[in-house]
């Protein structure tokens, strides 16, 4: 079992400093790149990739084999909320998007895939099939149909104390007796008696449905007998405790059912039970072969699991070795080859070699495109040789919607062109957009194109009216981390842009001007604030539901250290950037409005991610601690202002000794010296009297 933890995608607030706009729980922060060789729970791609969750690669390839399956479009985000990028994504995102709504019902395929080893999983469908068969049977006498219907509806599973049982139903016809006997056998089964004998006795019945259902139930009953003692105290699988003889009988009975009823009512379930029998018996080769049958089966009526459920099952139940066994399906081989390309640190010794992949060529007869992609992926992800990708994958402009293999091949080729900054890379990416209709395909191309533009002096093209990059999260990443003042102003003024993008651009512009000593520009641009601003964003999530434009109308404070309005502070600093009173008040604005935890923009995004190029905004961010340190070092600063600077500098580390004010941490000895200086030089100040500790 490779992966057990499902990823839950959640909106990561900018205030926690995440450089990417999508994250999962448990602290998962995917790198905002189109594809990766490094695994992360929440960083899968629309391309087949080493870094993908193996279940994602499995599901993509099975959907290709089954003719593709479109997932419903994701619900549009609330235009007032901070957008989350749809790529990269986690397994849970894919699971929820593809799982058909009907699969959440009690007796749908999802229930079978998770409850195939339980007694009651078939109760709902079993009742419906029984009643349908009664309705279709013309040889029942008198009230038999009504009596049998009432008896079946009275049955429950699990059978509780005092529950109704079929008892002696008055029947006289042969068909009625067959249905009554089946009902009694079923009641015993639901009561926990998994003896196959009653169903074996009915497997030669003249009543067609009873005969077919009984032959299926013989195999199912033997499977439950076989597993009865095969699990430990905590549900752990213990192969040595399984009843191998009973499991062999289950397999034989189920195979006999499939032979007799190749398109019967219970074919899909029988295949699922056979897989379970192989798993319980520890027969991994047979299990891999059974999964191969499922992968090749294009008729969904003959499969007992949706591709998403089947990917989950394969990943949980099939050990690693059978993926490369002699008879393993090419899809399983491909998934394992990709997994072994993963980068897990600086040591590449465990990664698959090109020679090993070349030895697998015969396994991909008829699937040369997939095999060629594996070689190209190795060149790109392992050997860092993009030129070989171009040799292995010829250029192609798709003329119809792309399946995953086609999309992976052509997108990887475009990324290989982009790696050495080939002038053809942009055109190659753009040519794929019209047929990128699969889930996450367009968003992946948008991310790749946005990164190309960012790195090739094309940032403005991302925001042009005809831009193909329309994903709000990708655009915001660039506005926050890279955009300069001119682009931010242009976005803030563009009446055709979304209300949110305009607000965000103006917010970033004003915030960076304030914190990078661009005070005169701030005073000009603050006039762009709309006359009506919706509410207050609060202290933490400045780019959440409400972009924090209201912060820039701060009217100062009369409590503690008295400060004028923010515009007055900026006016004083525009006249004298070292004005101590105004500097301290700017620090109080940042402190009181919650900005100590918001300056994620001062943390550089990794260079290989979207937003990872040097920011185009002039000036250097000055953290709040830096304001205080500059005033402490200024011997000419007024006494009360130096005292307040010392007080605030020490409090940057209250109460646990961690720096809340940004900038480089200072040692405890320095904080102690600040404390002593405040106490000895300014003993009568309010701030010396208030400060009792240093941290």
Residue indicated by tokens 């990078």 = 516
Q: Among residues 102, 144, 153, 150, which one has the least CA distance to residue 126?
A: 153
Bridge pairing between strands 23-24 and 9-10: antiparallel
Per-residue pLDDT at 351: 95
CA distances from 580 to 464, 619, 670 (A): 43, 20, 21
Per-residue pLDDT at 493: 98
Encoding tokens for residue 346? Answer: 């600086």
Rounded CA-CA distance 313/308 in Å is 9
Q: Among residues 280, 301, 274, which one has the least CA distance to residue 216?
A: 274
Residues with pLDDT less than 70, the chain: 1-27, 69-82, 100-116, 160-167, 537-540, 597-603
63 and 69 Cβ atoms separated by less than 8 Å: yes
CA distances from 633 to 92, 119, 637, 683 (A): 53, 77, 9, 19
506 and 529 Cβ atoms separated by less than 8 Å: yes
Encoding tokens for residue 620? Answer: 């250097």
26 and 81 Cβ atoms separated by less than 8 Å: no
Q: Which SS3 state, helix, strand or coil, does residue 65 take?
A: helix
Beta strands in 452-556 (DSSP E): none
Nearby residues of 553 by Cβ (< 8 Å), 6 or more positions away: 529, 533, 566
Per-residue pLDDT at 463: 98
Gyration radius from the chain CA atoms: 33
Q: Among residues 484, 433, 453, 470, which one has the least CA distance to residue 616?
A: 484
């Amino acid at each position: 079992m490779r992966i057990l933890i499902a990823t839950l995608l959640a909106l990561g607030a900018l205030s926690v400093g995440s450089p990417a706009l999508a994250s999962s729980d448990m602290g998962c922060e995917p790198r905002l790149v189109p594809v990766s060789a490094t695994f992360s729970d929440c960083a899968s791609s629309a391309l087949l990739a080493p870094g993908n969750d193996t279940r994602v690669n499995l599901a993509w390839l099975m959907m290709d084999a089954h003719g593709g399956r479109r997932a419903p479009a994701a619900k549009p985000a609330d235009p007032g909320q901070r957008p989350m990028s749809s790529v990269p994504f986690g397994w849970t995102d894919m699971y929820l998007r593809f799982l058909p709504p009907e699969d959440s019902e009690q007796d749908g395929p999802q229930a079978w895939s998770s409850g195939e080893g339980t007694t009651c999983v078939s109760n709902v469908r079993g009742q419906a099939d029984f009643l349908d068969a009664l309705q279709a049977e013309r040889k029942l006498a008198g009230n038999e149909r009504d009596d049998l219907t009432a008896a079946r509806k009275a049955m429950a599973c699990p059978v509780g104390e005092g529950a109704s049982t079929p008892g002696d139903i008055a029947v006289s016809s042969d068909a009625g007796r067959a249905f009554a006997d089946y009902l009694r056998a079923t009641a015993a089964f639901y009561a926990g008696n998994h003896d196959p004998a009653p169903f074996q006795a009915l497997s030669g019945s003249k009543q067609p449905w009873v005969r077919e259902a009984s032959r299926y139930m013989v195999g199912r009953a033997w499977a439950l007998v076989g597993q009865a003692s095969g699990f430990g105290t905590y549900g752990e699988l213990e192969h040595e405790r399984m009843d191998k003889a009973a499991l062999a009988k289950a397999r034989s009975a189920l195979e006999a059912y499939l032979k007799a009823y190749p398109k019967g009512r219970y074919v899909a379930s029988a295949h699922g039970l056979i897989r379970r029998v192989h798993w319980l018996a520890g027969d991994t080769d047979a299990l891999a072969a059974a999964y191969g049958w499922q992968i090749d089966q294009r008729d969904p009526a003959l499969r007992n699991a949706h591709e998403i459920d089947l990917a989950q099952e394969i990943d949980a139940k099939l050990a690693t070795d059978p993926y490369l066994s002699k008879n393993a399906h090419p899809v399983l081989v491909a998934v394992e080859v990709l997994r072994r390309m993963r980068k897990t640190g600086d040591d590449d010794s465990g990664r698959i070699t090109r020679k090993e992949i070349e030895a697998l060529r015969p396994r991909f007869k008829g699937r040369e495109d997939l095999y060629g992609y594996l070689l190209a992926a190795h060149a790109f992800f392992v050997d860092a040789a993009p030129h070989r990708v171009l040799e292995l994958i010829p250029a192609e402009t798709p003329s119809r919607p792309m399946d995953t293999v086609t999309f992976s091949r052509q997108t990887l080729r475009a990324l290989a062109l982009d790696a050495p900054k080939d002038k053809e890379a942009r055109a190659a990416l753009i040519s794929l957009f019209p047929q990128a209709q699969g889930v996450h395909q367009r968003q992946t191309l948008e991310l790749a194109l946005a990164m190309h533009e960012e790195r090739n002096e094309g940032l403005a093209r991302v925001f042009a009216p005809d831009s193909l990059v329309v994903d709000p999260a990708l655009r915001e990443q660039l506005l926050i981390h890279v955009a300069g003042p001119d682009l931010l102003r242009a976005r803030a003024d563009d009446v055709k842009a979304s209300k949110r993008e305009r607000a965000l651009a103006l917010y970033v512009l004003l915030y960076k001007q304030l914190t990078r000593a661009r005070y005169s520009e701030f005073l000009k641009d603050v006039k762009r604030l709309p006359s009506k601003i919706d509410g207050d964003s609060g202290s933490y999530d400045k780019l959440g539901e409400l972009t924090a434009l209201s912060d820039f109308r701060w009217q100062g404070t009369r409590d503690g250290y008295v400060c004028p309005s923010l515009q007055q502070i900026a006016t004083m600093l525009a006249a004298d950037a070292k004005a101590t009173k105004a500097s301290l008040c700017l620090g109080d604005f940042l402190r009181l409005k919650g900005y100590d935890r918001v300056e994620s923009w001062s943390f550089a995004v990794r260079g290989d991610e979207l937003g990872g190029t040097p920011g185009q905004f002039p000036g250097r961010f000055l953290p709040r601690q830096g304001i205080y340190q500059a005033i402490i070092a200024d011997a000419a600063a007024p006494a009360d202002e130096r005292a307040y600077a010392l007080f605030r500098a020490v409090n940057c580390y209250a109460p646990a000794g961690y720096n809340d004010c940004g900038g480089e941490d200072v040692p405890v000895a320095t904080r102690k010296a600040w404390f002593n200086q405040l106490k000895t030089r300014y003993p009568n100040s309010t701030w010396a009297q208030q400060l009792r500790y240093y941290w």
